[in-house]
Amino acid sequence: MCIENEHIYDGFEHLRRALFLEPDTPIVMLTFYADDANKSHQHDYIHVAAWVGLAAQWDTFSIDWRLRLAKARLTEFHANEFFTGNGDFAGWNSKEREGERKNLLRDLIQIVDHACLRSFICIVHVPGWRTLNQEYCLEERYLRPYPLAGRTIVKMARNWWDNRGHKPDEIKYFFDQGFEDWGMLCDRLKLDLGILPVPANSSEVRPIQAADWLAYESGKEAPQYDDWENRKRPPRASFLALMDLGKTEPAIFHEKDLRKLCEDPRAAIPKRQ
């Protein structure tokens, strides 16, 4: 959608004020990627990606991100549309706009860099999950692929924050809620950690757009994560740039990893009768 000026609604600012979040409140922005339909049963992998930063960092990010998109006469950055030349980015894949594309990506990467954010990625191999779900009650324990990956990201963020001498309960979580199993994820987080995530709309809460981009890049790199030396093509430059900024290593659940989880007595996942 094109815009006439840069004075438009800021969903993040609205939520921050509504929740009375202080500038030093850590906030995790998460979203999900599987395929164009966002249905994990149609894809081999699902990806949940997140950026974490303080509320003050997200304030700066949101302003810079909004102004840069306004300069391009856009209201949001949707990675799938940008890289495929669809939606608001129809026609951007033409040779005449190649320089404009490169400049926009470069500037958005610089905005993420300037915000000094930390990233997390969790990937679940769906066929492996299906195999284990036949043996163990994963689905009944609210551990379908998306809730499992989302919960893992939350634990990773909590551990990272705790290791830096802070209280994990200080973190707030903003999830893009427009995906399958959103309710199941909320139930799992409430049961395990007493957390109620904040639902966010990526078109209005701009930090979610950065998570969407990271999740998309992760989706385009699977399944080459596990065999880096024998990959069929070089890694995407945009993927490497984001990974370098976030300084993260993806957590990947294949069948063997899921089996370890199921066999861990602390997980309390019963076998099927």
pLDDT of residue 40: 46
Instruction: Give yes or no for a contact between 211 and 204, defined as CB atoms under 8 angstroms apart.
Output: no
* Joined tokens for residue 91: 């026609």
Cα–Cα nearest to 110, from 64, 170, 71: 64
What DSSP character marks residue 4? S
In the chain, domain spans: 11-17+24-267
pTM: 0.90
Q: Give the confidence band of 247 by pLDDT, cuts at 50, 70, 90.
A: confident
* Joined tokens for residue 202: 């990526």
For residue 1, pLDDT beyond 50: no
Query: Would you tell me how many other CB atoms lie within 10 Å of the CB of residue 67?
Result: 12
Alpha-carbon span 72 to 65, nearest angstrom: 11
Residue 96, class by beta-carbon neighbours within 10 Å (0-12 exposed, 13-18 middle, 19+ buried)? exposed
Is domain 11-17+24-267 classified as CATH 3.30.420?
A: yes
Dump pLDDT digits (tens) for 35-78: 544 444 446 899 999 999 999 999 999 999 999 999 999 989 99
Q: What are the strands of the beta sheet with 45-54, ordered from one edge?
A: 198-200, 172-176, 26-33, 45-54, 118-125, 251-253
pLDDT of residue 265: 93
pLDDT of residue 246: 81
pLDDT of residue 8: 58
**Mean of pLDDT values over 235-258:** 90
Dump pLDDT digits (tens) for 117-173: 999 999 999 999 999 999 999 999 999 999 999 999 999 999 999 998 899 999 999
Q: Higher pLDDT residue, 135 or 33?
A: 135
pLDDT of residue 43: 62
Mean pLDDT, the chain, integer: 88
For residue 97, pLDDT beyond 60: yes
